[in-house]
Structure 1
Amino acid sequence: MTDSVFVFSEDQLKYKFNSHHPFNQQRLELTLDLLRKIGAISDQQIVLPRMATDEELLLIHDPNYVNAVKLASIGELPEGVADNYGLGTEDTPIFPNMHEASSFLVGGTLTAVDYVMSGKANHALNLGGGLHHGFRGKASGFCIYNDSSVAIKYMQEKYHARVLYVDTDAHHGDGVQWSFYDDPNVCTLSIHETGRYLFPGTGNINERGQGPGYGTKFNIPLDAFTEDESFIDSYKVALQEICDFFKPDVILTQNGADSHYLDPLTHLSATMKIYREIPKLAHKMAHQFCDGRWIAVGGGGYDIWRVVPRAWAMVWLEMTENSNYFGNLPKDWLDKWQPLAPITLPPEWDDPADLYPPIPRKMEITEKNAQTVDKALYPIKNRKKSVL
């Protein structure tokens, strides 16, 4: 068994709405090149994604929707019909071969799943995945097909697994949550910026699941301007409690890198500190509860130059127990990409202490987030009391 595999091919770069769209898969190249420049990945660890089949897409997506995406891909979907499916909007504009490009992202996550669930690898990373806003019959928030939802259903059907899905993207993992809202064998945890200020506006603590799935869906909406310590505390308390309660067979983490202070689309004040801690605890929990079975995908992250490569590199470095990287970024990486970057690249792995001015409401925000975690975990704590 190999310990970890990294799913990537040039096909994943074809998921491209247009040249000025914030969702830019050049992030994948920047991250992989950074890992290569520090000698942290070998060609033997890289595995090629495949294209998801229609049958696999239909595990989650409506046949009419998949057909609409196929028609849109070849320019044959009428505008009025496209609207019904969330296609051709500002967020998800139509682009040529959209179906094929989207299917490769889903297939990449399914490739990661098969490596881990068949025992060929302990951990697998598909940074091209993480498109958590896709719905059964509608595109949303830069996401055409929802690779994580398809992957979870695939794991249930093929491997009969109890799946814990953990989403640390600044945006609520709505598509995945609603896909399994009444399913008690899928537990979802989303830690995100409160929907009061941010798309998609959902992810309140009272979204706990329904019917047999009630009490297996957890949301921690953090206050705007939340800083590292509060984010990490919220994440650690929640993930440990939930793992202990749910006892998953496998953990699937969505690693959006848009909670960073520099991200242009969100309002949190995290730094690289959280991106060191997020994969560390996921890795630990996977070994504690799941015999090491950990699948990770990418997600949001819209400062593709200064934030995403460093944050995503940390996931792979943790997976391969190689996370002791501090100090300067490799000079040859900076020399290669700085001429192409519209902004100055950071010289180091970590952010400077004075990245932003002090947040005046720090204590208030920290206290509020701690109360939110407490309320979010109420079903677990209540159950423990009733057992006693």
Structure 2
Amino acid sequence: MHHGDGVQAAFYDDPRVLTVSLHQHPLSLWPGTGRPAELGGPGAEGTAVNLALPPGTSDRGWLRAFHAVVPSVLKAFRPQLLVTQCGVDTHREDPLADLSLTVDGHRAIYRALRELAATTAGGRWLALGGGGYELLRVVPRSWTHLLATVLDRDLDPETPLPAGWVARTSALAPHRPLPASMTDGADVAHEPWGGVTSQPVDTAVLETRRALFPLHGLDPEDPRD
């Protein structure tokens, strides 16, 4: 949701650590940091990656932006370990932000992270939780998908919610309707980034690529990089 400001600050001058943050644009959300020009301190330029997404960004936009920047930079950096903070306050029902992802988008993100861990970090992946404030309808489902993905036991999105959990949760919050299954019914298929189009995320992608990619020997204008 918001910029990963604390993690970035902790490692801003350390060239051994690459921090990556995809977040709602700082002009529209606290703490006001996380612009593409924040690239790392002296001697660590290029080790802070910031993709500032416009409010309302959906699954497709988020995934389009992610795949346009993150895999190329990770391959260039060659990490020994991938550590991810998997907050779910990007969900469209979260009360604190203005992004519009779904549980299906979260599932696609986790699968992409697993693939990147396998291809860039020898399969070493430490997945952590994070923010998420729709505690009944979103957090349990999204983090169940996260755990299943980490364990290579991917869940069918149509899997019904456990009856016992539904009964207990409904008793605690009888006025909150619960989803029936592990999906929001969203189509997360996205077009790969190929340059700036009318899609709102494309300008954000190009700003980040232009600031960051030359520091890793990559061409910001070439979609193949």
Measured against the shorter chain, the TM-score band is 0.7 to 0.9
1:280–1:352 CA distance, 2 compared to 1 (3 A): closer
Find out whether 1:367 has 2:199 as its counterpart.
Answer: yes
SS for the counterpart of 1:244 is: helix
- The change in CA–CA distance for 1:385 and 1:181 in structure 2 (over 3 A counts) is closer
1:221 counterpart residue number: 52
Return the letter of the residue paired with 2:4. G
Aligned residues: 207
- Corresponding position of 2:190: none
Q: Which residue of 2 aligns with 1:257?
A: 88
- What CA deviation, in whole Å up to 9, does each residue of 1:286-322 have, x standing for no partner? 1112221100111110001000111111111111111
Check 1:367–1:344 CA distance in 2 against 1; reply closer, same or farther (3 A cut). same
1:223–1:369 CA contact under 8 A, matched in 2: yes
Match of residue 101 from structure 2:
270
SS in 1 for 2:63: helix
| Equivalent in the alignment of 2:120 | 289
The CA RMSD over aligned residues, in Å, is 1.9
Superposed displacement of residue 261, structure 1: 0.6
Aligned residue among 324, 343, 351 for 2:184: 351
In the alignment, is residue 325 of structure 1 matched against residue 153 of structure 2? no
Q: Are the counterparts in 2 of residues 286 and 294 from structure 1 also a CA contact under 8 Å?
A: yes
SS in 2 for 1:218: strand
Query: 2:138 aligned with 1:307, yes or no?
Result: yes
Q: Residues 281 and 385 of structure 1: is their aligned pair in 2 closer, same or farther, counting only changes over 3 Å? A: closer
Q: Is the 8 A contact 1:171 1:199 kept in 2?
A: yes
For residue 176 of structure 1, what is the amino acid of its counterpart? V
TM-score by length of 2: 0.86
**Alpha-carbon shift at residue 224 of structure 1 (Å):** 0.5
In 1, Cα distance between equivalents of 2:112 and 2:123:
12
**Which deviates more, 299-308 or 366-375?**
366-375
For residues 355-382 of structure 1, give each alpha carbon's deviation from its aligned partner in whole angstroms, at most 9, with x where no partner exists.
Answer: xxxxxxxxx9962312212221233246
- Sequence identity percentage: 34
Q: Measure, in 1, the Cα distance between the counterparts of 2:5 and 2:144.
A: 25
User: What CA deviation, in whole Å up to 9, does each residue of 1:198-230 have, x standing for no partner?
Assistant: 111111111111201111101011100111100
Contact 1:190–1:203 (Cα < 8 Å) also in 2: yes
Could you tell me which residue of structure 1 aligns to residue 2 of structure 2?
171
Distance in 1 (alpha carbons) for counterparts of 2:57 and 2:94:
13
Alignment of 1:1-388 (within 5 A): 170-327=1-158, 328-341=160-173, 342-352=175-185, 367-378=199-210, 379-381=212-214, 383-384=216-217
Please list every run of 5 or more consecutive structure 1 residues that lacks an aligned counterpart in the other structure: 1-169, 354-363
Q: State the distance in 1 between where 2:143 and 2:68 align.
A: 23
CA contact (8 A) 2:24 2:99 kept: yes
Q: Distance in 1 between matches of 2:163 and 2:113?
A: 30
Please give the per-residue CA displacement for 1:85-125, whole angstroms capped at 9, x wherever unaligned.
xxxxxxxxxxxxxxxxxxxxxxxxxxxxxxxxxxxxxxxxx
Change (3 A) 1:385 1:215: closer
- State TM-score, norm by structure 1: 0.51
- Does the 8 A contact of 2:104 with 2:185 survive in 1? no
Runs of 4 or more off by more than 3 Å in structure 1?
none
Change in Cα spacing, 1:261 to 1:244, as seen in structure 2 (3 Å) is same
Tell me if structure 2 keeps the 8 A contact 1:317–1:323: yes
**Does structure 2 conserve the Cα–Cα contact (< 8 Å) formed by 1:245 and 1:380?**
no
Which structure features the higher share of helix residues?
1
User: Which 5+ residue runs of structure 2 have no aligned equivalent?
Assistant: 187-195, 220-225
Partner amino acid for 1:372? A
Higher RCO (CA 8 Å, separation ≥ 6 residues): 2
AA matched with 1:289: T
Please state whether the residue corresponding to 2:27 is helix, strand or coil. Answer: coil
CA 1:195–1:385 in 2, change beyond 3 Å: closer, same or farther? closer
